Structure 1
C-alpha cells in the first residue's frame, strides 16, 4: 500500500513547480502577488510544521491507532474502494468542523491562526502551517477510529485532503462556474482568508464547499468587495516562533490579568477577540483598521538575495532532516531540529531589518563551518565523507563571507534601518 511519506515525496517537487508557474503567470498578467520576505516566512513556517510533525506523529497517529484497535467494534477492509471513498468524505466533513471550531474557539484559533497571518495570498500561503495543531486537532477525527477506519486509510485520506487544498491558495485562477458550487475552489477560499466583514469566518470546506452550504457558512466572493488578507490582529513579524506563540501568549496574559476565575477559563474557549471586560478596560487594544499598511520592512536587494540563498540551503537541510530524523537518536534529532529552527529565526530577524540578525547569522554560518570542518561530523553522522566535510564547510564559510560583504556594503550605502555590523 502507498504510504503518506511516498505521497509527500512526490508532492514536494510539484509544490515548487506550481509556485514557479504561479509566479510567471502573475508577472505575465502584471500582478504582484509575491513578496520575498512573506514567502520565506510562509515556507519557513511550513518547514517548522514538518519538523514538529516528526516528533508528534506517534502522538496523533498513535492515539488514532489505539482507539481504532481498542474501541471500534469492527475494522473496515482497507482494500475496499467504498471504504476509501467514504473515508475521504467523512474526513472532509470532520475537517469542516475542526476548521470551523478553529475560527470560533480561541484555543483552537491559537493553532490555526498561523495559516491566516500572511497578508499575501499565493501558493506559499498554503504551506504556511501550524506547529501546534497536533495538541487538540486529533479529537475531531476520533469518529473515524470508532467507526473502524484503519489507521493507514485515515493517514492517507488526511494527506489527500491536505494536498487538495494546496492549489486553492491562489489569485491567478478566477471563478470556475459549477465547480465553485460544489468544491472548495480558489474563489471560495480567497473569501475564507479575507478579513472583510462580508467574508469573515466563512467557507470552511476542505475539498467540498457543500458542507458550508448545508451548515450556513457559505459566502460568495464579490468583485465589488475584493478580499483583504491577514488577521484582525496583524502579526507584524517574520519570526516563525512568535507566529506560533502569539495567540497563546495573548490568552495567557488575559487569563492572568482577569479578576474573575470563570473569566480566566472563558478566555480559552470564547471566540477569538473576546476579552474579559475588566481586562479590556485595563489593557485596551486598538481597533482593527482594515486599511492599515501591510507589514513590509524595507529590505534592499542584496539582503533579499542573501536571504533567498540561505533559505534554499536551509530547505535542503530540512528535506535531509525529514529523511534522517526517524533513524536518529531522539537527542540528535532534537538538536538538528533546534539548529534548523534557529536558522529560520535568524533569517526572520534579518528580514525585519534588525542589526542583531547579522550577528546571529554570523554565529550560525561561521559556527557551522568551523564545527563541521573541525569535527568532520553532521547530525547523527559520525564520520562524514571528507568531500562532504569540505562542501559543507565551504558553503557556510562562503555564506559568512557573503554576509560580511553585504552588511558592509549596506552600512555604507543605506540608512540606519538596514541590517549592518553595528
Structure 2
C-alpha cells in the first residue's frame, strides 16, 4: 500500500536535489538574483516549522476526516479501485481550487495562507514555504470527500500527490509550455498567481488543473510585458518565522478591536484581505502599497551569512531527525524537541535581521547543543546517544560558540534598516 510516509521519504531528498539544480541553472543563466540566502533560509525554515506543527495537529485534518468518513458517509468506496483514485484526485483538485480561492478572498483564511506568499523571490524554496496554522480551518473544505465515502488512506495520498505536484511550478527557470499551460497549473500560470501586480491579483488558483480557473473566470495568462513582482501587498519585512505566521492574525485582531460596530468586528475576519472598517482606516491609516518598494534584505557580512547557512543546515538535519523520531516519543518529550527547533529557527531569523541581541540567544543555543549531549549521553528521547555523535556535536557547536564573539566584535553585525521594525513582534 502506498502511504504518505513512503512518498515523503522519496520526495524530501528530491526537493533538495531539484533546488540545487535550479540554483545552478539560475547562476549559469546569469539570474543570480533568483535566490537570496536569507530568503531561502526563511522559506525552508517555515516549511520545517509547518512540518513540526503538523506532528501535533494531524487530528484537525486526517483525524476529523477519518471520523466523518467512518460515521457520516452512507457508503465506503473501495480503496483498491483505480476509478476511486482517479475520481478522488479530480474531486480533491476541485475542492483545492475552492479552498485556495477562499484563502485569497476571505481574510481569516488568508491569515494562514499568506505565509506561502510572503517571499519576494520565486523559486523552489518558495514551494516549501508553508503555513503553520492551516490546520485550524483547512480541513473543512475537504469534508465532502469524507461524506461521499473516499477512504481516509486514499484521501491522504491524493492530498499529498496534489501538493507535491505544485512543487515544480514554483520556478522562473521554466518558460511557457504551450498547450500544457492551457490545461494544467504550470510555472507560467503560477508565477502570475504569486504576483502582486494589479493585473494578476486573485487569479490562477488551480492546484494541478488550471481548467478550474478557466471554468470559473479566474484565469489569466502571464504577460511578458508585465513581469510578475512577488510578495504580498503588506510586505512582511522580517525573517522571524513566528511573526510570519502571526502577522495577519494580529493585524485583523487589532482592526477588530478598534472597530466601533460589532458588525465590523466580524466583517474584518470575513471580508477580503485589505478590507478595513471606515472608522478604523481613518484613525489608523496604513501606507499605500508601492510595487517598487525595496526588498527586505538587512546588510550582513558574508561571514555571518555563511554562519547562518551552516547553522540552518544543522538545524534542518535535527528537524529531519525529529520528524522521524517524534511518533515514538512521549508527547512531552516531542514537544520539548519541537520547541528547541522552533527556538533555533527564531534565533537564526533574528541573526539574519542583524539583531545584536540574537548573539546571546545563539550563544545559549549552541553551548547547550555542544555540552548537553556529551555530558548526559542523551538527546531528546535518544536514551543512549552514540558517544561519537556527542563528540561531533561538541566540536561543531563548540567552535560555533567560539566564533560568535568574533562575529559580533568585529562589526560583522549591522543594525537592520528602520523598516524591519515592522516585522517585530508587538510589545
Q: Give the TM-score taking structure 1 as reference length.
A: 0.97
Give the whole-Å Cα distance in 1 for the aligned partners of 2:42 and 2:414.
24
Structure 1 stretch displaced more, 66-75 or 360-369: 360-369
2:123 corresponds in structure 1 to 122
SS in 2 for 1:198: helix
1:377 corresponds in structure 2 to 378
Report the Cα offset of residue 271 of structure 1: 0.4
Alignment of 1:298-377 (within 5 A): 298-377=299-378
Report the Cα offset of residue 59 of structure 1: 2.6
1:245 corresponds in structure 2 to 246
Give the whole-Å Cα distance in 2 for the aligned partners of 1:126 and 1:299.
25
Consecutive unaligned residues of structure 2, counting only runs of 5 or more, are: 418-427
- How many residues are treated as equivalent by the alignment? 416
Structure 1 stretch displaced more, 63-72 or 371-380: 371-380
Could you say if the C-alpha distance between residues 330 and 140 of structure 1 is closer, same or farther in structure 2, counting changes exceeding 3 Å?
A: same
2:422 corresponds in structure 1 to none
Report the Cα offset of residue 213 of structure 1: 0.1
2:185 corresponds in structure 1 to 184
Alignment of 1:11-410 (within 5 A): 11-32=11-32, 33-410=34-411
Superposition RMSD in Å: 1.2
Could you say if the C-alpha distance between residues 416 and 57 of structure 1 is closer, same or farther in structure 2, counting changes exceeding 3 Å?
A: closer
After superposition, what is the alpha-carbon deviation per residue over 1:318-350, rounded to whole angstroms, capped at 9, x for unaligned?
000000001001000001000000001100000
Report the Cα offset of residue 409 of structure 1: 3.3
Give the whole-Å Cα distance in 2 for the aligned partners of 1:128 and 1:334.
22
Could you say if the C-alpha distance between residues 374 and 73 of structure 1 is closer, same or farther in structure 2, counting changes exceeding 3 Å?
A: same
Consecutive unaligned residues of structure 1, counting only runs of 5 or more, are: none
Report the Cα offset of residue 2 of structure 1: 1.3
Could you say if the C-alpha distance between residues 89 and 351 of structure 1 is closer, same or farther in structure 2, counting changes exceeding 3 Å?
A: same
After superposition, what is the alpha-carbon deviation per residue over 1:334-382, rounded to whole angstroms, capped at 9, x for unaligned?
0100000000110000000110111111111012222223222100122
Give the whole-Å Cα distance in 2 for the aligned partners of 1:20 and 1:37.
16
Give the whole-Å Cα distance in 2 for the aligned partners of 1:55 and 1:340.
14
After superposition, what is the alpha-carbon deviation per residue over 1:280-323, rounded to whole angstroms, capped at 9, x for unaligned?
11111001011111111112110111011000000000000000
After superposition, what is the alpha-carbon deviation per residue over 1:83-111, rounded to whole angstroms, capped at 9, x for unaligned?
00011110000000000000000000000
SS in 2 for 1:176: coil
SS in 1 for 2:297: coil
Give the whole-Å Cα distance in 2 for the aligned partners of 1:385 and 1:178.
55
After superposition, what is the alpha-carbon deviation per residue over 1:165-198, rounded to whole angstroms, capped at 9, x for unaligned?
0000000100000000000000000000000000
Preserved contact between residue 118 and residue 232 of structure 2 (Cα < 8 Å): yes
Preserved contact between residue 42 and residue 127 of structure 1 (Cα < 8 Å): yes
Could you say if the C-alpha distance between residues 218 and 25 of structure 1 is closer, same or farther in structure 2, counting changes exceeding 3 Å?
A: same
Preserved contact between residue 306 and residue 403 of structure 1 (Cα < 8 Å): no
Preserved contact between residue 374 and residue 387 of structure 2 (Cα < 8 Å): no
**Is 1:9–2:9 an aligned residue pair?**
yes
